[in-house]
A and B are shown apart, each in its own frame.
Chain A
Amino acid sequence: MIHIEGLCKKFGKNKVLSDLDLNIEEGGVFAVLGPNGSGKTTLIKSVLGMVVPDKGRISVMGEPIKKNWKYRKKIDYLPQIANFPGNLRVKELIRMIKDLRQGESNEEKLITLFKLEPFLDKKLSTLSGGTKQKVNIVLAFMFDSPLLILDEPTTGLDPASLIHLKELIREQKQKKKTILITSHIMQFVAEVSDIIIYLLEGDIYFKGTIAELKTKTAQTDLEHAIASIATTPAHV
């Protein structure tokens, strides 16, 4: 699905990704984890073409992404911070994104699911953080693309919405889609993901299932396993 080879990226003197190789197979939920500043968002943004890598090759579904933009049709992206143009109304924003992407969409179902009807005519600048995140989720899930990238999808969500989000992810998984998630909430990761990708200092430190991670670190729960992974000498 996604193939990354020798990816390097520096911001000024700060080396964020160093010679990263990663292969993400088709189907399943992949959780990209790592401490703050380990390069998770940079990795995701490189795949999306928002960050231009210094070195390395990335291909999405067999297509190299360099100087290419059409491959983004196959990706739905949920950004980490829900920043929207403030003077647009929720309805207008959804209509605009639909107009720009020109695909089948099922936003009505998602709007009802997250109870967003009362906010449709409100301006985005007046919404609370959690409501913005719900709009964000609607925008990311309303198209039926084979690859979903969710950067911190749980931020600001109330418990009911969190349950809906998990259901949505499970639903997408059943459709054999590939889902890439970053999160710091281990309980959420343990519930939804199949494969853990652990980033440390700009490189892949571990890639495998949760069970493999637990045996490797000799821990019984994921949170402790992740916390102790960096101190375990074994390296994949």
Chain B
Amino acid sequence: MFKILKYSFYDLIRSRWSYVYFLFYLLLGFVLLFLNNDISKAIITLMNVIIILVPLISTIFGIMYFYNSKEFTELLLAQPIKRSSIFLGQYFGVAGSLTLSLVFGLGIPFVLYGLFKSDAIFDFTLLLVTGAFLTLIFTVLSFNIALSNENKIKGFGYAVLLWLFLAVIYDGLFLMSLIVFKEYPLDGFSLAATMFNPIDLSRTLILLKLDISALLGYTGAVFKKFFGTDQGLFISMFMLVLWTVLPIWRLVIISKKKDF
């Protein structure tokens, strides 16, 4: 698996898009710090960007990489390599290079600004960890979609729809159901609804850590009331891990049964 990872990773590191992505975060980091002049405030703004943008880029990058490396995959399948190693290697290659772009792109401006001297270092680390999780989750989701759809256009469409649903539509539906069912106790429902969306989950996780009650919103408040800050952090982290591991597991199972 590590050999495949190595080749996928080198392949991506040489690609122009990795640099564009890296430079984008670098620029974003510098601009936000320049405009806000305050690390904690910049972190909140960044959170809003990361939570929407990281899933979008990971989904599109993942699906494009998978379809574009079809030839490479076929070449590898005839070699004495385990199938799961091929797909896991490619997956971690993509997710790894995206995560590196994110971590270095945002890390460099913040470190230069004096992150290590500020007390926001844990908040910032959590932001990067959440960003890394979102990258892992959405890349593996897009790999799953690509593996189940031979048709590129369809696969691409499903992937974008998935992002749109989780990033935008889900919140709308959630809010509407809260209004429609306002007569009933909704604590349990909203907890579950948050758990089922990695984007909402990440947002709650970061806001819990930042402890900004004004931004927590209804779900965040329920989360805090229900679990308390520490347990809430732990549970949302655990859910993010589940969101990563379960699709990876499906990826391995599906790849074993597929014909090439």
Q: Which residues in A have some Cβ–Cβ distance to B below 8 Å?
A: 11, 45, 48-52, 69-73, 75, 77, 79, 83-88, 96-97, 99-101
Given known A-B contacts A96-B7, A101-B80, A52 and B72 have beta carbons under 8 A apart: no
Residue of A nearest to B83 (CB): A69
Taken together as a complex, chains A and B put the C-alpha atoms of A85 and B69 apart, in Å, by 6
Tell me the complex Cα distance, A195–B70, Å.
34
A5 to chain B, nearest CB (A): 20
B112 within 8 Å of A (CB atoms): no
Question: Is the Cβ of A85 less than 8 Å from the Cβ of B75?
Answer: yes
- Cα distance A11–B260 in the bound complex, in angstroms: 11
Q: Which residue of B lies closest to A78 (CB)?
A: B78
Contact of B78 among A79, A87, A88 (CB under 8 A): A79
Measured CA separation A45–B77 after assembly (Å): 10
**A100 contacts which of B71, B81, B259 (Cβ < 8 Å)?**
B81
The reply to whether A79 and B82 form a contact with Cβ atoms under 8 Å apart is no
The 6 closest A-B pairs by CB, nearest first: A83-B71, A72-B80, A85-B72, A73-B80, A77-B78, A51-B259
With known contacts A79-B78, A83-B75, A101-B79, A50–B259 Cβ distance under 8 A: yes
**B80 contacts A70, C-beta separation under 8 Å:** yes
11 contacts between A and B (CB under 8 A): A51-B259, A75-B78, A77-B78, A79-B78, A83-B71, A84-B75, A85-B71, A87-B15, A100-B76, A100-B79, A101-B80
Complex CA–CA separation, A22 to B80 (angstroms) = 23
From the candidates A52, A70, A84, A87, name the one contacting B259 in the complex (CB within 8 A): A52
Asked whether any CB of chain A lies closer than 8 Å to the CB of B257, the reply is: yes
Least CB distance from B72 to A in Å reads 4
Q: For A72, what are the chain B residues with a Cβ–Cβ distance below 8 Å? A: 78-81
| Nearest-neighbor residue (CB-CB) of A136 within chain B | B75
A-facing residues in B175-203 (Cβ within 8 Å)? none
Contact A87–B11 (Cβ < 8 Å) = yes
In the complex, whether B117 has a CB less than 8 A from a CB of chain A is no
**B1-41 Cβ-contact flags toward A at 8 Å (1 or 0):** 00100010001001100000000000000000000000000
**Residues of chain B contacted by A75 (CB below 8 angstroms):** 78
Residue of B nearest to A72 (CB): B80
Report the Cα distance A79→B79, complex, angstroms: 12
